[in-house]
């Protein structure tokens, strides 16, 4: 399907969703249903929840009962209150075993969380990133120079995935020729069985064990070598992390691989899509490159690569007049907070000059705020600088295909043609 045709049909779908969202009883709204995300029609449902019940209990959701928090200020309030809203046992919707629950620091509360985060945080800090910038730029240029001009290709495969994979290899100082293993492990860990990457639980576990063995070997080598700013050296040499159990080591590796993979990948694809929907914005950044950093923040707001994070109440909590009982699943819908009109005017639209774009919630808020946010921004900034240098247009020529997930807001396919 042509892009224009896709856009017309999308408008129609959205108009239908607006009517539907306005007419059904609140209890029929299920923002946990992945179809709403896949069809990109979730927005009017969020809008209604924000307006009528920003703290809402979905008792009959397809994913089982949970609470939605949908407005900007309340999401911040929940994310800032780790005592009453715990990240344990998990930040995902599905319940996990006790062993898996303590397997990475994103799903731990302080003080354990803080110790492990502190050990690896420097890799994503300003000093390390400044040192990595020339290497990242070199890799971005290498990828862009290999792309065909005037021919249709899948942007997701050739650019978004390739670039994030190379970036991860840089952060881990991972053997470059084996870098595709990183994407493979991330995909295996995050894909549901129905996506077709694995058939049996044993098969999945076998591949994850391969990841563990490969990484353990690298870590043991690095433990003996002094210095080094890559993630594995840090995990190997830091007091807080060097004696982790295999389950914890694997959990933290997967956190770092997944954290840096799907999210950045989908911001890269989402940015190109949004610049096609609002071509004036592309012209503005093309004419004035100093707008790129703000445009990057705005792309990350607009895309919101992770739709939510989950918390679990540690006691009965009164949130804006609604009592959430102890032990309940609470989803902070960043995707909804980022479209909250009381904070972001014309929130559905990409606006590279938006003055408060940086206040988006895509990286979360509070003690778990994304550790790799500067890495992601750096990567996107360099990519846009190099793309604007080379191309007069990055034209989307057909329908994007979205991932089937209520959590990762992403794309598997984006047909693009480059013009110089």
DSSP secondary structure of 343-367: TSTTTTS--TT-TTGGG-STT--ST
Minimum CB separation of residue 314 from ligand HEM in Å reads: 16
Minimum CB separation of residue 18 from ligand HEM in Å reads: 27
Q: Provide the token pair at 337.
A: 């907070």
**Number of residue whose CB is nearest ligand HEM:** 372
Q: Provide the token pair at 344.
A: 């972001």
Minimum CB separation of residue 407 from ligand HEM in Å reads: 10
As a 3-state breakdown, the chain gives helix, strand, coil percent values, each rounded to 5, of 55, 10, 35
Q: Provide the token pair at 172.
A: 């881990």
In the complex with ligand HEM, which residue's Cβ is closer, 154 or 269? 269
Minimum CB separation of residue 109 from ligand HEM in Å reads: 10
Q: Provide the token pair at 98.
A: 């006790």
Minimum CB separation of residue 408 from ligand HEM in Å reads: 10
In the complex with ligand HEM, which residue's Cβ is closer, 372 or 400? 372
Crossing angle (nearest 10°) for helices 373-390 and 292-303: 120
Quote the strand ranges of 247-316, DSSP E: 308-313
Q: Interface with ligand HEM by CB under 6 A: which residues? A: 79, 105-106, 117, 124, 171, 255-256, 259-260, 263-264, 267, 300, 305-306, 309, 362-366, 368-372, 375-376
404: alpha, beta or left? (left if phi > 0; alpha if psi -120 to 50) = beta
In the complex with ligand HEM, which residue's Cβ is closer, 248 or 263? 263
339: alpha, beta or left? (left if phi > 0; alpha if psi -120 to 50) = alpha
Minimum CB separation of residue 169 from ligand HEM in Å reads: 12
> What is the spatial distance between Cα 326 and Cα 116, in angstroms, rounded to a whole number?
27
In the complex with ligand HEM, which residue's Cβ is closer, 29 or 159? 159
Residue carrying structure tokens 């007049």: 321
Minimum CB separation of residue 388 from ligand HEM in Å reads: 19
Are 187 and 207 in contact by the 8 Å Cβ rule? The answer is: no
Are 360 and 301 in contact by the 8 Å Cβ rule? The answer is: yes
Minimum CB separation of residue 185 from ligand HEM in Å reads: 14
Of all helices (H) and strands (E), which one includes residue 64? none
In the complex with ligand HEM, which residue's Cβ is closer, 144 or 254? 254
Minimum CB separation of residue 89 from ligand HEM in Å reads: 14
Minimum CB separation of residue 191 from ligand HEM in Å reads: 18
β-pairing, 317-319 with 322-324? antiparallel
In the complex with ligand HEM, which residue's Cβ is closer, 270 or 415? 270
**Burial degree of 18 (CB within 10 A; 0-12, 13-18, 19+):** middle
**Burial degree of 141 (CB within 10 A; 0-12, 13-18, 19+):** middle
Of all helices (H) and strands (E), which one includes residue 7? helix 3-23
In the complex with ligand HEM, which residue's Cβ is closer, 20 or 184? 184
In the complex with ligand HEM, which residue's Cβ is closer, 12 or 135? 135
Are 348 and 318 in contact by the 8 Å Cβ rule? The answer is: no
In the complex with ligand HEM, which residue's Cβ is closer, 237 or 263? 263
In the complex with ligand HEM, which residue's Cβ is closer, 276 or 338? 338
Are 257 and 168 in contact by the 8 Å Cβ rule? The answer is: yes
């Amino acid at each position: 399907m042509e892009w224009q045709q896709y856009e017309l049909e999308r408008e129609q779908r959205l108009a239908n969703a607006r009517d539907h969202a306005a007419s059904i009883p609140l209890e029929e709204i299920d923002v946990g249903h992945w179809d709403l995300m896949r069809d990109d029609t979730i927005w009017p449902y969020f809008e209604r929840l924000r307006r009528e019940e920003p703290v809402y209990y979905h008792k009959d959701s397809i994913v089982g009962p949970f609470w939605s928090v949908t407005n900007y200020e309340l999401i911040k309030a929940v994310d800032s209150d780790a005592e009453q809203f715990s990240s344990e046992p998990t930040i995902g919707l599905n319940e996990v075993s006790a062993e898996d629950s303590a397997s990475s620091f994103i799903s731990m509360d302080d003080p354990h969380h803080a110790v492990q985060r502190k050990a690896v945080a420097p890799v994503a800090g300003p000093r390390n990133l400044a040192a990595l910038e020339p290497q990242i730029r070199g890799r971005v240029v290498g990828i862009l120079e290999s792309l065909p001009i005037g021919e249709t290709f899948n942007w997701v495969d050739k650019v978004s995935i390739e670039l994030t994979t190379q970036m991860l290899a840089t952060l881990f100082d991972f053997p470059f020729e084996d870098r595709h293993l990183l994407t493979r492990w991330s995909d295996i860990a995050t894909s549901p069985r129905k996506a077709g990457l694995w058939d049996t639980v044993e098969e999945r576990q076998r591949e994850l064990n391969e990841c563990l063995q490969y990484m353990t070997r690298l870590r043991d080598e690095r433990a003996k070598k002094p210095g080094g700013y890559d993630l594995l050296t840090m995990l190997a040499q830091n007091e807080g992390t060097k004696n982790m159990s295999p389950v914890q080591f694997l959990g933290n590796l997967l956190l770092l691989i997944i954290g840096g993979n799907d999210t950045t990948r989908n911001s890269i694809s989402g940015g190109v899509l949004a610049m096609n929907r609002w071509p004036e914005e592309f012209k503005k950044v093309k004419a004035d490159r100093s707008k790129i950093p703000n445009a990057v923040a705005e792309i990350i707001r607009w895309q919101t690569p992770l739709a939510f994070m989950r918390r679990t109440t540690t006691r009965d909590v009164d949130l804006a007049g609604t009592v959430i009982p102890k032990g309940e699943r609470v989803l902070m819908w960043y995707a909804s907070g980022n479209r909250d009109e009381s904070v972001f005017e014309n929130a559905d639209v990409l606006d590279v000059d938006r003055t408060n774009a940086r206040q988006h919630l895509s990286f979360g808020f509070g003690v778990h705020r994304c550790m790799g946010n500067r890495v992601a921004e750096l990567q996107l900034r360099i990519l846009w600088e190099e793309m604007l240098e080379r191309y007069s247009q990055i034209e989307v020529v057909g329908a994007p295909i979205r991932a089937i997930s209520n959590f990762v807001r992403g794309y598997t396919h984006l047909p693009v043609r480059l013009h110089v």
